[in-house]
Amino acid sequence: MTGTGDLGRRIIHHRERLGLTQEQVAERADMSPGYLKYLEENADNPDHGALFRLADALGTTTEDLLGGGQDRPPGYGPATAHPRLEAMDKAECLRLIAPGGIGRVAFNGSYGPTVLPVNYTMHEGAIVFVTAVGGAMDQDLRTGMEGVELVIAFQIDNIDEANREGWSVLVQGPAHHVPEEEAASVAGADVTPWAGGDRKLFIRIVPQRVTGRRIHAM
């Protein structure tokens, strides 16, 4: 089988995502830990059987492990035959988004409804991300009225392509521009800007309404 590319990196990513050791994944995939270690550290072509067992052990697909379909939106393919939708309470929603990562902010921008990706972290109960001072997002998220903040939406989801399951969380709350005199309030927020560069304006969203849904296969 050809085209493994960064197979090792993808194996490590999924293994760490599941919180598993090499030994645990090897046992699930019915292979030796030494061979799994070799696949993680070397560009090689595993046989079909080993690759399918490994994908199953990691809860993903062989295509994903081989790096296929990376330019397509997530969730490609048919939905599960009998999906079951479950509402999640606020505590569960906040637990799911607590690790931080990449989410989306939605607001009414200069050119109409706008949705943009952001790197975010949870800090002291709030969602924190970074943008450029004086940039388009900085301006779009200001109301122009002293003490009045714009209420925006923040959304993040997780899709399990292999099992056709996943969850989505929606947070709504005011977007607070953190001025220099409040810099200490976000001093512990370890977050970098999505677009890179010299972006030093912290935006903090204090959750006012938190909702979420999880979809299961029957």
- The three-class DSSP label of residue 63 is helix
What is the predicted pLDDT for the residue at 2? 45
Q: Which DSSP helix (H) or strand (E) runs through 36?
A: helix 33-41
d(CA 174, CA 152): 6
The Cα–Cα gap between 121 and 22 comes to: 29
Task: Please state the rounded mean pLDDT for residues 49-72.
Answer: 82
Q: What is the mean pLDDT of residues 144-171?
A: 87
- State residue 161's pLDDT score: 66
pLDDT of residue 74: 64
Long-range contacts of 10-18 (CB under 8 A, 24+ apart): 10/64, 10/65, 10/66, 10/67, 11/36, 11/39, 11/40, 11/54, 11/58, 11/65, 12/40, 14/58, 14/59, 14/60, 14/65, 15/58, 18/58, 18/59
The per-residue pLDDT for 70 is 61
Contact 64, 39 (CB under 8 A): no
- How much is the pLDDT for 64? 80
Q: Which CATH architecture has domain 83-217?
A: Roll (2.30)
pLDDT the model gives residue 207:
95
Distance between first and last Cα of the chain: 33
List the beta bridge partners of residue 131.
Answer: 201
Residues 126, 150, 171: CA angle, nearest 5 degrees = 40
pLDDT digits (tens, 9 = 90+) for 73-93: 666 666 666 788 899 999 999
pLDDT of residue 1 exceeding 60 = no
Q: What is the pTM of this model?
A: 0.71
User: Where are the domains positioned within the chain?
Assistant: 7-65, 83-217
Structure tokens at 55: 């994908």
Q: Closest by alpha carbon to 194, among 124, 111, 126, 115?
A: 115
% residues pLDDT > 70 (the chain): 89
What pLDDT score does 3 carry? 43
Q: Is 109 exposed, middle or buried (0-12, 13-18, 19+ CB in 10 A)?
A: middle
- Of 16, 166, 2, nearest to 68 by C-alpha is 2
What is d(CA 154, CA 26) in angstroms, rounded to the nearest whole number? Answer: 38
The percentage of the chain sitting over the pLDDT mark of 90, rounded to a whole number, equals 50
- Stretch 116-121: mean pLDDT, rounded? 93
The per-residue pLDDT for 86 is: 93
SS3 call for 138: helix
Give the 3-state secondary structure of residue 189. Answer: coil
pLDDT of residue 147: 80
pLDDT at 197 over 90: no
Over residues 146-162, the mean pLDDT reads: 87
Higher pLDDT, 10 or 147: 10
Q: What is the mean pLDDT of residues 120-146?
A: 90
7-65 homologous superfamily: lambda repressor-like DNA-binding domains (1.10.260.40)
On average, the pLDDT of the chain sits at: 86
pLDDT at 71 over 80: no
